[in-house]
Structure 1
Amino acid sequence: MRSRVVAAVAAAVIAGSGLSACSSGSDSGSGTITLLEYQQARADVAKKLIPKFEAAMAAKGKHVKVKLVTDQLTDAQFKTKITQEFHSGTAPDVIDTGGNQMTGLAGAGYLLELDDYLNKWSGWSSYYPSAKAPAKQSDGHYYSLPHEASVQSIFYRKDVLQKLGVSTAQPTTWAELIARLKSVTAKTGKPSIVIPGGTAWGDGSWSEGFLPIVGGTGSTFYDKSSGKWKLNSAGLTATFNLYYELKKDGLLPVQDLLNPNPWEPTKYVAFKKGTLPVSAQGTWGWRYDWGPDGAAPIAGVQDKVATWNYPALVSGTKPYSISGGGFAYGVNAKSANADAAVALSEWLSSGTALAQQLTTTGAASPRSGISGLAPYKNEPTLLDAEHKLKTSILPPQGDGSDQVSQAVQRATESILDGKANGTQAAASFAKNAADLLGPDLVAK
């Protein structure tokens, strides 16, 4: 979801000549370890925090040196590069990346199992269940430590809607929201909402667009106990029908969604101008999209932009927000200084160190005890997201998510380009996803 932002970030100076996990010293909690950050903002804050960590360890009689290694990489580039480095034995001791990247790395045996460390760490008990659950892998173990969380909601330009005389109250159902969107479009002559869809948006069509909607329908999509996907359900059909209704009524910016880099004319231009006043979005939007240092800064963003929970789509459900994974620390399974590597991960995920990182990256805290610490305590939008995190819905994800994402992209594109209605798209999705997943991952 943030790969488009990372690509535009300037590279930092590479510290050290390589990324070897074979650091000096033995696993006594001392020695030299390497930390890899591949986003500039994260590297900048880590650079400031590392000396404080080293001093804290020295006070405990542990002599730890941390080499910060940074690079200019998109999420996809990072995945390719770090896999190669793990395979060749040159990966760093600690990596910082999205939680969705950890599943494959853990499954390949590259990451250290952290259960024993976390069970002994006092901070682990303060994590919210919705932040812990996604970090647990299918084998029941933890191989990463989340240090941020996101909440996906419906963002809207309250200044624009108020000017147009359209209600900004929480919509209870999608029917209620669609009525408002039709009112906006009738008054402006333009589309009124952007929800990622189609192939041009890539994985965002799945993780930022489709998944948050289907996740609240109450239908089983992914069964974690069996590790299989249910590809036909009332919730799936309802979600594809929603895309079709929004497209049919002229509420979606169809041509922009079909063109390359669809987030640019929609979120970066039209939402900023207020001509496309409603957008599916996650917590990261406060910084990376519309914050002062974002791709499309909105002056006074916290006064002009607000959020709704997702409205209910299926009868019997209620408005909700979706818990989204954030970045997490993973420790190289072959680290010569695993104790020090884990200590760094835990320290960075605690106290003022965590508060500074969350404010820098525009993320919600995955644990309690941080909301009263500066500078995080001065970020009302992040505090609100953390509050929602406590009751948000966990999205259905598991082994095969990449394949399901591809099928969702193609099916929603068939709606956007006029080749299918919602029911037809649901049927083509089920067939395509089954072919991509294979019989072992599909529920009968």
Structure 2
Amino acid sequence: MQRKRVFLAVTAATLVVGLAACSDSGEQTDAESGPVTITLLEYQQARADVAEQLIPEFEQAMAEQGKDITVELVADILTDEQFRTKITQQFHSGTGPDVVDMGGSHVTGFAGAGYLLQLDEYLEEWSGWDDYYDSVKEQAVQVDGHIYSLPHEAGVQSLFYRKDVLEELGVDTSQPQTWDELIDRLTQVTAETGEPSIVIPAGTAWGGGTWSEGFLPLVAGTGSTFYDQESGGWRLESEGLSATFDLYAELTEAGLLPVQDLLNPNPWEPTKYVQFPEGTLPVAAQGTWGWRYDWGPEGSAPIENVQEKVATWDYPALVPGTDPYSVSGGGFAYGVNADSEHADAAAELAMWLSSGEAMAEQLVAIGSAAPRAGIADVAPYKDEPSLLDAEEKLKTSVAPPTGDGADQVSQAVQSATESILLGNADGAEAAAAFAEDAAELLGDSLVAQ
């Protein structure tokens, strides 16, 4: 048994943990037999906590395979922006950790900069990759056709609704097939309460959430190509884009969106942390993480008996010829430093953490759906009905379009939806303004012709 040591440096804490209980993972690669020491970076506390518990099990599992691998956990608690800045500096200076756990939105930039190792060969030889759902696999492939990260969770975005509130108001809670059908129900709620009845992120105050949690899930199911993989450019005019801006305009004009809250700073606080928990704003665009981080017992705004009071709908069809759908989210993924001296051991850690009990423990700690089959019967994940339901949706979910220039497109979406909230543009005018702004921000090379 190795001694446990704790290193503190500025905001980082590095934990060298010893050998403990064994794992049921029998996967092997050509990882060095050691002794080898690798580092794993976690920048969110909940993720660091569960990783600290799992690392000794990994070390023991490797020891049973004749591999002497020690893992140092770097728990550096940062915001997304702080993480992006700091890890970029570390990669650039050659001091980055061997394995980085990061949101999928970070992967494209780091892979394009050459900071992440291609994982294609490891995954081809790993039987676990065959169990991943197609939508997750598709999102893992970068624009050059290669894979630079291993997803170990999946978010599923859909419409969360207060089942208890709608039933009390006599409003239908079955799956709405079209937005027209749902708007009829929302109008009924607003007529009864005198208050807005749905929150979908919009405007500039919500920042990137307007794009990732609001606009993108809506346009993803319209059947229109938004990002063209072949040309590597964005299509800035389409039936789907027009329909999405029209929907924002219709919801705003009908008084169904909480416009003033969306225009104020931190719009998620009065809407998702006060009004939805109170039941006065009964429908919210949300992701799987809401079960834990927002409305769970330890969330920002706990709802008592949340599993009984809250349920989810797929997004209704917005364009004729389409069907209701949920959207598969990026989730967190493990990336391996392209300059790692122990790439085999680093990849081994990523694959082990993405298997069996190790994955099940992480999914419950974070509140995410399994991105692969074979976890639904593994404790403690098997005892989480909301996550199991999200995994079922994941199997047939729509993957949101993304690519180079997403930050610029997000900026244009925020501005265009803000103009709708302010009453300065209808749907068609907002769509035209979006196309013009996005083209200028992207430049010719990133606009599909």
Question: Partner of 2:378: helix, strand, or coil?
Answer: coil
Could you tell which deviates more after superposition, 69-78 or 345-354? 69-78
2:86 maps to 81
Q: Contact 2:42 / 2:77 at 8 angstroms: preserved in 1?
A: no
1:159 and 2:158 correspond: no
Alignment of 1:226-237 (within 5 A): 226-237=231-242
> Are residue 283 (structure 1) and residue 288 (structure 2) matched?
yes
Partner deviation per Cα, 1:156-208 (whole Å, 9 max, x = no partner): 00000001111101001101100110110111111000000001111110010
Question: Shift of the alpha carbon at 1:234?
Answer: 1.1
Match of 1:155, SS? strand
State the number of aligned residues. 426
In the TM superposition, residue 29 of structure 1 has moved relative to its aligned partner by 4.7
What are the within-5 Å matches in structure 2 for residues 207-286 of structure 1?
207-286=212-291
**For structure 1, which segment, 113-122 or 27-36, has the greater mean C-alpha deviation from structure 2 after superposition?**
27-36
Q: 1:72 Cα shift?
A: 2.0
| 1:218-246 Cα deviation digits (max 9, x unpaired) | 11111112111110111111100100010
Question: Residues 200 and 284 of structure 2 are in contact (CA less than 8 Å); yes or no, is this contact kept in structure 1?
Answer: yes
Tell me, yes or no, if structure 1 residue 363 matches structure 2 residue 368: yes
CA distance in 2, matches of 1:383, 1:29: 37
* 1:29/1:338 contact within 8 Å kept: no
Shift of 1:277: 0.3
Does residue 293 (structure 1) correspond to residue 298 (structure 2)? The answer is yes
Distance 1:202 1:29 in 2: 47
C-alpha separation in 2, matches of 1:290 and 1:89? 41
1:77-156 matched pairs, under 5 angstroms: 77-156=82-161
Q: Which runs of 5+ in 2 are unaligned?
A: 1-9, 17-29
CA distance in 1, matches of 2:192, 2:46: 40
From 303, 308, 325, the counterpart of 2:308: 303
Give CA-to-partner distance per residue, 1:346-373, whole Å, 9 cap, x none: 0000000000100111100010000000
Aligned positions of 1:318-329 closer than 5 A: 318-329=323-334
Write the distance in 2 (CA, Å) between the matches of 1:365 and 1:188.
38
* 1:106 to partner: Cα distance: 0.5
- Residue segments in structure 1 that go unaligned for 5+ positions in a row: 1-10, 18-25
Alignment partner for residue 189 of structure 1, among 167, 190, 194? 194
Deviation at 1:443, TM superposition (A): 1.5
What is the SS of the residue equivalent to 1:69?
strand
Q: Say which of 314, 321, 331 aligns to 1:316.
A: 321
Identity of aligned residues (%): 69
Q: Which amino acid aligns with 1:192?
A: S
TM-score, length basis structure 2: 0.93
Q: So what's the TM-score if we normalise by structure 1?
A: 0.94
Q: Specify the alignment match of 1:169 in structure 2.
A: 174
The answer to whether the Cα contact below 8 Å between 2:41 and 2:74 also exists between their aligned partners in 1 is yes
Q: Secondary structure at the match of 1:15?
A: strand
CA contact (8 A) 1:193 1:278 kept: yes
1:13 and 1:146 map into 2 onto residues whose CA distance is: 24
Counterpart of 2:32, as a letter, is S
Structure-1 separation of matches of 2:240 and 2:115: 36
Contact 2:42 2:74 (C-alpha < 8 Å) held by counterparts: yes
- Tell me how far apart the structure 2 counterparts of residues 163 and 119 of structure 1 sit (CA, whole Å): 52
C-alpha spacing 1:27/1:151, structure 2 compared with 1 (3 Å): closer
Partner-residue secondary structure (3-state), 1:14 = strand
Partner of 2:27: none
Give the 3-state SS of the residue equivalent to 1:109 in structure 2: coil
Q: Distance in 2 between matches of 1:341 and 1:12?
A: 23
Superposed CA RMSD in Å reads 1.4
Question: Is the contact made by 1:12 and 1:40 (CA closer than 8 Å) also made in structure 2?
Answer: no
CA distance in 2, matches of 1:144, 1:391: 22
